[in-house]
Amino acid sequence: MIIEKGEKIHVVMRRTFESQVQRHFAGAVEEVEGAIVRAVGYVFIYDLMKAQYTKKAEMRTTILDLSQSGYIVNVLPTSVVINDLRYETVNREYLAVVDGKGFSLDVNEFGSKR
């Protein structure tokens, strides 16, 4: 597997249906077996009322089968602290995951600009 134990990942879980909840996950990989990854981290859910992603308060362990279609996986720098991640609109142009310390990952699904 290309993803290794100890790496930090950000996973976009693509929606199958338009009405499906938009979920993202950011965490650290605990175990890897083939394309199956066990990771500990946070789930971010898109809140329609606030029009923004909200981090669930509790840390959770999740199992992801990355061979399934529908996952976009980004490997994060080792310096990123998962607990510090949040979503932010940058310059009113695109959505990014940021840590407040210089890390920024553009996750805009609608092109390079909104």
Q: How many domains does the chain have?
A: 1
pTM: 0.86
Asked if residue 114 belongs to a domain, the reply is no
**pLDDT tens for the 114 residues of the chain, in order:** 689 999 999 998 876 667 667 889 999 999 999 989 999 999 999 888 887 889 999 999 999 998 888 888 999 999 999 999 999 988 878 889 999 999 999 987 655 554
Asked if residue 21 belongs to a domain, the reply is yes
Asked if residue 113 belongs to a domain, the reply is no
Q: What is the DSSP string of 41-103?
A: EEEEEEETTTTEEEE-SS-EEEEEETTSTTEEEEEEPTT--GGG-EEEEETTTEEEEE-SSS-
Asked if residue 22 belongs to a domain, the reply is yes
Asked if residue 43 belongs to a domain, the reply is yes
Give me the residues paired with residue 61 across strands: 40
Asked if residue 112 belongs to a domain, the reply is no
Asked if residue 1 belongs to a domain, the reply is no
